[in-house]
């Protein structure tokens, strides 16, 4: 998949996580606790030592059924998605709900999934093939051409296209309706700060809540012992590393550049004063590792306070570097960039309910003029639907008189047929040989069928 396709797919998965009702309405069960890019340990291999990632993993509330989702912004295919994803899922699980989301489906691919399930009747698995609404795809295209950090605030627009963003194409049910796993019970997450993996989990949870518009925080991470929390920064070879407490008793955050971005690192370092003014005076440059870092003292007794402070600085890192890693600006233009302009849409109405209270007009301005084009397309589609309905109404109205006349003719003919039949019956009653072969074979059964004496 292209990078652009991967980005649109990521937007759709986050939308499904934020608005689970779209999938819940299709599978008939309420979805809770969704995770994106979750490592499934059942798929361990040489390549995936900790398990293979699944696009969306969730649980249903009432029955506690596990939901496995595979997404693709494109037409269904055999190799990359049926063979490597859906088939692998069916082979490795005994029960659950599998959803396959695509822009368009080849019915043969769906039939292959159904047949595979029929060949394994002992598996308690339900399958749903789900198609993406073309209007939702248009919006994903608009988001993809915009600024990455604005997308989160615009995802609710997918719910306002006038029809469901996802629709059912086909399904196969072989899970018993009485099947019950472990009903979902919401629990408060607990962390043991003496364990470095738990500290990183706590850090990511806080980053996700405090900076939800940074979409990479929504992906689940495979936490590794004695390793910092690594998050992609928007370009291959640029990433963030952070840890809450290391062996030297410090917490740190840094953005790292690969060798191919050495010139970027040099350009940023040449504007160290600007960076320290925008982010923190406590910014350090490491030429050997091409890293720009921030660090503070930490200890295991004040992890929440350290995380709170680290989160605030992390957001400043994101707001400063994202115009280059996502906005496609060159670091040599750094003095000409209006950072406030780039980030103006991120905090709109934040104190008054956040992104979900943005008006349609405000959301439209956020991605104008692309949204205006899409809005016109939606209006045109609705106008065409209204015109089509009006044409059907006019047709029915125009032909109603004719239909009424035809109906009257049919009723008149029916009356004539009944009168003729009655006349024939009466004449037959006068016929002396009522027990003849003709009578027994034709007339008598007819009289019984129509209750004629």
Q: Is the pLDDT of residue 356 over 50?
A: no
What per-residue confidence (pLDDT) applies to 347? 63
Instruction: At 160, list the tokens.
Output: 């306002």
* pLDDT tens-digit series, residues 279-334: 999 999 999 999 999 999 999 999 999 999 999 999 999 999 999 999 888 999 89
Give the closest residue to 16 by CA, choosing from 82, 135, 101: 101
Q: How far apart are CA 47 and CA 97, in angstroms?
A: 26
What per-residue confidence (pLDDT) applies to 12? 94
* pLDDT tens-digit series, residues 84-135: 889 988 998 899 999 999 999 999 999 999 999 999 999 999 999 999 999 9
Give residues with Cβ within 8 angstroms of 439, minimum separation 6. 428, 433
What per-residue confidence (pLDDT) applies to 353? 39
Q: Look up tokens 């936490």; give the residue.
A: 223
> Out of 41-45, 217-221, 311-315, 374-378, which region has the weakest mean confidence (pLDDT)?
41-45
Instruction: At 262, list the tokens.
Output: 């050495």
What per-residue confidence (pLDDT) applies to 184? 75
- The string of DSSP codes covering 243-293 is ES--TTSEEEEEEEE-GGGHHHHHHHHTTHHHHHHHT-S-EEEETTTTEEE
Containing 343, the helix (H) or strand (E) segment is none
End-to-end CA distance of the chain: 78
Q: Is the pLDDT of residue 351 over 60?
A: no
Q: Taking the CA of residue 439 as centre, how many other CA atoms within 13 Å lie in the half-sphere pointing to its CB?
A: 11
**Integer CA distances (angstroms), 166 to 78, 359, 371, in order:** 21, 23, 20
* pLDDT tens-digit series, residues 199-238: 999 999 999 999 999 999 998 877 666 689 999 999 999 9
Q: What is the mean pLDDT of residues 161-170?
A: 93
Q: How far apart are CA 210 and CA 81, in angstroms?
A: 34
Q: What is the pLDDT of the chain when averaged over all its residues?
A: 82
Three-state SS for 295?
Answer: strand
Give residues with Cβ within 8 angstroms of 142, minimum separation 6. 367, 370, 371, 374
What per-residue confidence (pLDDT) applies to 37? 72
What per-residue confidence (pLDDT) applies to 53? 77
Spell out the domains of the chain, with CATH numbers in brackets. Answer: 3-173 (3.40.1350.10), 196-337 (3.30.1460)
Phi first, then psi: give them for residue 289, nearest 5 degrees.
-100, 0
What per-residue confidence (pLDDT) applies to 412? 74
What per-residue confidence (pLDDT) applies to 400? 66
Phi-psi group of 28: left, alpha or beta (phi > 0 → left; psi -120 to 50 → alpha; rest → beta): left
What per-residue confidence (pLDDT) applies to 401? 63
* pLDDT tens-digit series, residues 380-436: 666 665 666 666 666 666 666 666 776 777 777 777 777 776 776 666 666 555 555
Q: What is the mean pLDDT of residues 337-347?
A: 75
> Out of 37-41, 71-75, 352-356, 444-448, which region has the weakest mean confidence (pLDDT)?
352-356
Containing 416, the helix (H) or strand (E) segment is helix 370-430
Give residues with Cβ within 8 angstroms of 246, minimum separation 6. 252, 298
Q: Is the pLDDT of residue 145 over 60?
A: yes
Q: Is the pLDDT of residue 275 over 90?
A: yes
Give the closest residue to 309 by CA, choosing from 319, 325, 300, 298: 298
What per-residue confidence (pLDDT) applies to 308? 95
pTM value?
Answer: 0.75
Q: What is the dihedral of CA 115, 116, 117, 119, to 10 degrees?
A: 90
- Would strands 66-75 and 95-104 be described as parallel, antiparallel, or unpaired? parallel
**% pLDDT > 70, the chain:** 74
Phi first, then psi: give them for residue 175, nearest 5 degrees.
-90, 130
Q: Taking the CA of residue 158 as centre, how many other CA atoms within 13 Å lie in the half-sphere pointing to its CB?
A: 30
Q: Are 234 and 249 in contact (CB under 8 A)?
A: no
Three-state SS for 329?
Answer: coil
What per-residue confidence (pLDDT) applies to 98? 95
Q: Look up tokens 């009578």; give the residue.
A: 439
Q: What is the mean pLDDT of residues 151-161?
A: 91
In terms of DSSP H, where are the helices of 29-149?
Answer: 87-92, 107-118, 134-145
What per-residue confidence (pLDDT) applies to 232? 93
């Amino acid at each position: 998949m292209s990078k652009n396709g991967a980005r649109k797919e990521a937007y759709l998965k986050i939308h499904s996580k934020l608005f689970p009702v779209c999938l819940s309405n299709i599978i008939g069960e309420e979805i809770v606790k969704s995770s994106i890019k979750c490592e499934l340990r059942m798929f361990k291999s040489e390549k995936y030592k900790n398990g293979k990632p699944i696009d969306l993993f969730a649980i249903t509330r009432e029955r506690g059924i596990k939901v496995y989702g595979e997404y693709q912004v494109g037409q269904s295919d055999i190799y990359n998605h049926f063979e490597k994803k859906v088939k692998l899922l069916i082979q490795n699980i005994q029960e659950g709900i599998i959803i396959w989301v695509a822009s368009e489906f080849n019915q043969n691919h769906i039939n292959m999934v159904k047949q595979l399930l029929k060949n394994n009747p002992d598996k308690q698995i339900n399958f749903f093939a789900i198609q993406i609404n073309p209007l939702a795809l248009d919006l994903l295209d608009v988001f993809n051409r915009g600024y990455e950090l604005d997308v989160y605030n615009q995802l609710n627009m997918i719910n306002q296209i006038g029809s469901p963003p996802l629709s059912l194409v086909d399904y196969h049910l072989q899970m018993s309706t009485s099947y019950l796993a472990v009903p979902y019970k919401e629990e408060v997450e607990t962390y043991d700060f003496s364990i470095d993996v738990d500290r990183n989990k706590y850090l990511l949870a806080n980053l996700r809540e405090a900076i939800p518009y940074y979409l990479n925080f929504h992906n689940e991470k495979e936490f590794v012992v004695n390793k910092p929390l690594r998050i992609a920064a928007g370009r291959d070879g640029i990433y963030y590393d952070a840890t809450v407490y290391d062996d030297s008793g410090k917490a740190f955050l840094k953005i790292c550049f690969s060798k191919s971005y050495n010139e970027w690192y040099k350009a940023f370092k040449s504007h160290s004063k600007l960076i320290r003014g925008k982010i923190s005076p406590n910014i350090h440059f490491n030429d050997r590792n091409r890293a720009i870092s921030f660090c503070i003292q930490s200890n295991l007794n004040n992890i929440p306070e350290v995380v709170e402070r680290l989160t605030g600085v992390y957001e400043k890192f994101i707001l400063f570097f994202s115009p280059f890693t996502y906005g496609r600006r060159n670091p040599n233009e750094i003095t000409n960039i209006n950072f406030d302009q780039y980030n103006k849409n991120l905090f709109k109405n934040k104190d008054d309910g956040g992104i979900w209270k943005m008006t349609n007009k405000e959301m439209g301005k956020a991605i104008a003029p692309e949204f205006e084009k899409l809005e016109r397309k939606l209006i045109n589609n609705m106008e065409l639907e209204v015109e089509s309905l009006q044409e059907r109404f006019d047709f029915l109205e125009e032909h109603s008189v004719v239909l009424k006349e035809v109906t009257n003719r049919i009723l008149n003919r029916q009356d004539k047929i009944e009168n003729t039949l009655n006349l024939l019956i009466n004449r037959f009653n006068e016929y002396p040989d009522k027990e003849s072969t003709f009578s027994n074979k034709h007339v008598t059964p007819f009289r019984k069928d129509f209750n004629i004496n």
